[in-house]
Amino acid sequence: MIEVTNKINKITNSDYIFSLIQKITNIFTGIITISLINRYLGVSLKGEYEYILNIVNILNVIFGLGLYASYPYMKRQKMKNQLHKYLNVFSLQAIIYTLISIIISVTVRSKIVIITSLLIITRILNAQLQNIGVVEFIRYRQILQIVSYFIDLLLTLGVYLFVPKSMYALLYVLLFKYLIYIFAYLIKCKYIPRPWYISPKFFKYMIRFGFVAMLTTLLMEFNYSIDVIIMRFFLPYSEIGLYSVGSKLAQYIWLIPDSFKEVLFSRTAKDDSIDEIKTVLKLNIFITLFMILAIFIFGKVFIHILYGKEYLDAYQVTVMIFLGIPSMVLYKLINPLYMANGKQKKCFAILFISVLINIIANFIFIPIYGKMGAAVSTVLSYTMCGVILFIDFIRTYHLEWHDCLILRKKDISSICHIFK
């Protein structure tokens, strides 16, 4: 019994394995949650729900100002009282936005405006604390996320069973989830923020450093969300609802490389870890190709069982979107290295090109091919983004492309090593 316990402890002590456990839990609970949401709202209302969430995601990035972006870099510089100084700035920002939100709510008196503004504020603070958690206490962050997945699932199930069809009920669930994250992180930090205790010089540095990072993150969010925004100009909400099936499933597949990316953020905050990045790239490309094959063969049955017959028209769009996942895996796993080394401008330039292609392609293809045109545009953008960064990565660090993409038998020992 003691030996079994020791083996379990040894496994869960690995950052990568625990991160994978967290993400796999998210995939299972998330897919069930999305299934409940899709069946609860129906195709048309689901499209409107996704449209609002995409707007929230974009505004969250813009108003967040990228203030957290310099945290890994300053960690390398061994900044004194770093956590406290960042929390002070985050709390001041949250207070200012809350006051603005109150003024807007009193003036406009619109239910959707009120809930949207609250979602933006809580999402900004949540994102900031999440990024601190990646660097400072990754294991706590992983455990907290696992707990929140089940809370999200239970709350959604409650809405599904007991609340008449309402998009607002699901938005309140999302707001409650963000608040749970915020309070849990503040408890872990063991520090009461002092918004009045801020160095102007440091604040200017955060703004200057974070601006490029904010624009980079905004471009990445555009890569994920701009298709839905543009679709609204040409297509009804029902088509957005069908398209969201493929985009949401792709986001859950991304959780696997995200589990590695979060650990790499922690690693690259200390050193470059090139060999580790190469191994992680090969493993994730292999997993991603396997998932693409699975969705190609079983995707229609999967959609029918989970979401219902009315979502079957989403199958072709889902397969097309999945073809762009490998390229985004490359971007996600290489990006932490570039961010830790202060190369935000290079990431920005690459994303700018890919987003520009995405926007142009969407305006060309959506009026002609509908939701499939949005899917094609997304794949083109993802491919451009991932391939350009990958080429720069192998040239900068003098690597062979096949050593970063093709999984061989000899790589098994390296995989076992990083998991240990």
pLDDT at 265: 60
Query: In 10 A of CB 200, how many CB atoms?
Result: 7
Burial (CB < 10 A; 0-12, 13-18, 19+), residue 124, is: buried
**Residue 325 predicted with pLDDT over 70:** yes
Query: How many CA atoms lie less than 13 Å away from 5 in the CB half-sphere?
Result: 2
User: 387: closest CA among 324, 307, 312, 316?
Assistant: 324
pLDDT at 373: 92
Least confident of 197-206, 335-344, 386-395: 335-344
Token pair, residue 105, equals 């709510």
Please, which pLDDT band fits residue 149 given cuts at 50, 70 and 90?
Answer: confident
Q: Which residue has the higher pLDDT, 364 or 145?
A: 364
Q: What is the dihedral of CA 211, 216, 218, 220, to 10 degrees?
A: -170
pLDDT at 4: 43
For 93-137, write each residue's pLDDT tens digit: 899 999 988 888 888 878 888 889 999 999 999 888 888 887 778
**For residues 219-229, average pLDDT:** 82
For the chain, give the secondary structure using H, E and C: CHHHHHHHHHHHCCHHHHHHHHHHHHHHHHHHHHHHHHHHHHHHHHHHHHHHHHHHHHHHHHHHCCCCCCHHHHHHCCCCCHHHHHHHHHHHHHHHHHHHHHHHHHHHCCHHHHHHHHHHHHHHHHHHHHHHHHHHCHHHHHHHHHHHHHHHHHHHHHHHHHCCCCHHHHHHHHHHHHHHHHHHHHHHHCCCCCCCCCCHHHHHHHHHHHHHHHHHHHHHHHHHHHHHHHHHHHCCHHHHHHHHHHHHHHHHHHHHHHHHHHHHHHHHCCCCCHHHHHHHHHHHHHHHHHHHHHHHHHHHHHHHHHHCHHHHHHHHHHHHHHCCHHHHHHHHHHHHHHHHCCCHHHHHHHHHHHHHHHHHHHHHHHHHHCHHHHHHHHHHHHHHHHHHHHHHHHHHCCCCCHHHHCCCCCHHHHHHHHHC
Please, which pLDDT band fits residue 7 given cuts at 50, 70 and 90?
Answer: low
Rounded alpha-carbon distances, angstroms, from residue 109 to 96, 105, 113, 117: 20, 5, 8, 12
**For residues 362-382, average pLDDT:** 90
Residue 313 and residue 298: Cα distance in Å, rounded? 14
For 49-85, write each residue's pLDDT tens digit: 989 998 998 999 899 888 887 787 777 777 778 888 8
Residue 69 and residue 77: Cα distance in Å, rounded? 14
Q: Could you tell me if 53 and 167 are in contact, meaning their C-beta atoms sit under 8 angstroms apart? A: no
301: CB partners within 8 A, 6+ apart: none
Percent of the chain with pLDDT over 90: 12
Give how far the C-alpha of residue 161 lies from the chain's centroid of Cα atoms, to the nearest Å.
Answer: 28
**Residue 161 predicted with pLDDT over 60:** yes
pLDDT at 83: 80
In the chain the first and final C-alpha atoms are separated, in Å, by 21
Q: Could you tell me if 146 and 113 are in contact, meaning their C-beta atoms sit under 8 angstroms apart? A: no
**For residues 399-405, average pLDDT:** 74
Q: Could you tell me if 371 and 232 are in contact, meaning their C-beta atoms sit under 8 angstroms apart? A: no
pLDDT at 264: 63
Least confident of 129-138, 268-277, 317-326, 356-365: 268-277
pLDDT at 208: 84
| pLDDT, mean over the chain | 82
**Residue 357 predicted with pLDDT over 50:** yes
**Residue 157 predicted with pLDDT over 90:** yes
Q: Which residue has the higher pLDDT, 268 or 334?
A: 334
Q: Could you tell me if 377 and 248 are in contact, meaning their C-beta atoms sit under 8 angstroms apart? A: no
